[in-house]
């Protein structure tokens, strides 16, 4: 069985990585921190020109019809670059949520999905139970939760109150609005199902970005410790510093399997998605949090300064660790699967099928 990504998927990842590294520089991120919106229409237009805003939009609405497994490597690169724009939320959470609405909302789906594919609309999605909505101020359509109901609300019908985030790249707002029958697009069991799927995709998107962030922090620390010298030698040549980076590298490699397995499960609509997504979120969070701890130690006192780029990515990792389910929530889902269910555990039971 071949579990590797295809050549096309890897080539697309390389192209996106090259673009993001060249365009989403630490200097540009700092400039956006100082702007009123923290967002760039020019950068969003560049993402549209690359075709990234059409990736997960169904083909009938002018998109490419890709799934979670196709997008997961790109979400990882968005994390590596620290991309402030809501590309992952729009493409991995919002678009599939709209696309899953029933045919009674066909006109709404066609209108908004086509606009997203054309790069003319950004979506903001509320995490159920979380009062703060990311990027609500630049969203052309907000997908909000009211109990089990899904509401599609336009910006003119909401009032926003800005909230400060530990990560200045995250633009958080409390959204005050009034649910109405005209904005409700799903309710009851359908609403529960849509929000459950959105939650899994949101957690998966955070996990992919945290894996990219962990890798970026390690790369920054490696570069810094080979430039900085003590006793006439690069600090990175000392065994203690090598061990700090090696420990993170091991966690990054261990996190890849759960992340890609969870993406495959969502793409193929396999049972047990919740546990696989929680495993991915926990594994990538562990890698990212260890990366933040070890790389700031490798930087020494300079790691605490504003001028060093490390904090741009460290703060993003801290923020993503707490959204779409914190570690306590995801540990609870895994505990319930292990002790409340009847899982098939042990040798010979780790695959869905027999291997010759």
| pLDDT values of the chain reduced to their tens digit, one per residue, 356 residues | 567 899 999 999 999 999 999 999 999 999 999 999 999 999 999 999 999 999 999 999 999 999 999 999 999 999 999 999 999 999 999 999 999 999 999 999 999 999 999 999 999 999 998 999 999 999 999 999 999 999 999 999 999 999 999 999 999 999 999 999 999 999 999 999 999 999 999 999 999 999 999 999 999 988 877 666 554 555 555 555 677 888 999 999 999 999 999 999 999 999 999 999 999 999 999 999 999 999 998 878 777 888 899 999 999 999 999 999 999 999 999 999 888 877 776 666 655 544 33
Residue spans per domain, the chain: 192-339
The CATH fold assigned to 192-339 is: Butyryl-CoA Dehydrogenase, subunit A; domain 3 (1.20.140)
Specify the long-range contacts of residues 28-33, CB closer than 8 Å, at least 24 apart. 29/82, 29/84, 29/169, 29/312, 30/312, 32/84, 32/169, 33/168, 33/169
CA distance 29 to 23: 10
Is residue 221 classed as helix, strand or coil in its secondary structure? helix
CA distance 76 to 210: 7
Is residue 188 classed as helix, strand or coil in its secondary structure? helix
């Amino acid at each position: 069985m071949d579990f590797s990504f295809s050549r096309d998927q890897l080539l697309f990842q390389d192209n996106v990585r090259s673009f993001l590294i060249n365009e989403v520089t630490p200097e540009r991120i700092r400039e956006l921190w100082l702007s009123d919106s923290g967002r760039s229409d020019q950068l969003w237009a560049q993402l549209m020109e690359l075709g990234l805003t059409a990736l997960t939009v169904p083909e009938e609405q002018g998109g490419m019809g890709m799934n979670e497994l196709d997008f997961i490597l790109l979400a990882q690169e968005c994390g590596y670059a620290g991309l402030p724009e809501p590309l992952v939320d729009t493409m991995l959470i919002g678009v599939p949520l709209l696309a899953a609405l029933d045919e009674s909302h066909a006109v709404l789906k066609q209108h908004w999905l086509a606009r997203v594919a054309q790069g003319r609309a950004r979506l903001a999605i509320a995490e159920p139970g979380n009062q703060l909505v990311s990027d609500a101020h630049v969203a052309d359509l907000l997908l909000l939760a009211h109990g089990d109901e899904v509401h599609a609300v336009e910006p003119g019908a909401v009032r926003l109150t800005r909230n400060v985030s530990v990560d200045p790249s995250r633009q958080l707002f409390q959204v005050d609005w009034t649910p109405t029958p005209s904005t409700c697009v799903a309710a009851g069991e359908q609403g529960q199902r849509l929000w459950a799927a959105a939650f899994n995709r949101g957690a998966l998107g955070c996990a992919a970005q945290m894996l990219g962030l962990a890798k970026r922090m390690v790369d920054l620390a490696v570069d810094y410790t080979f430039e900085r010298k003590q006793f006439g030698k690069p600090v990175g040549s000392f065994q203690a510093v090598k061990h700090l980076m090696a420990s993170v590298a091991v966690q990054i490699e261990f996190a890849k399997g759960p992340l890609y397995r969870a993406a495959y499960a969502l793409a193929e609509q396999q049972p047990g998605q919740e546990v696989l997504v929680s495993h991915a979120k926990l594994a990538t969070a562990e890698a990212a949090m260890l990366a933040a701890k070890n790389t700031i130690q490798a930087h020494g006192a300079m790691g605490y300064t504003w001028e060093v780029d490390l904090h741009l990515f460290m703060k993003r990792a801290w923020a993503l660790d707490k959204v779409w389910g914190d570690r306590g929530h995801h540990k609870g889902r895994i505990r319930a699967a292990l002790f409340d269910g009847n899982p098939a555990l042990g040798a010979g039971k780790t695959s869905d099928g027999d291997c010759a």
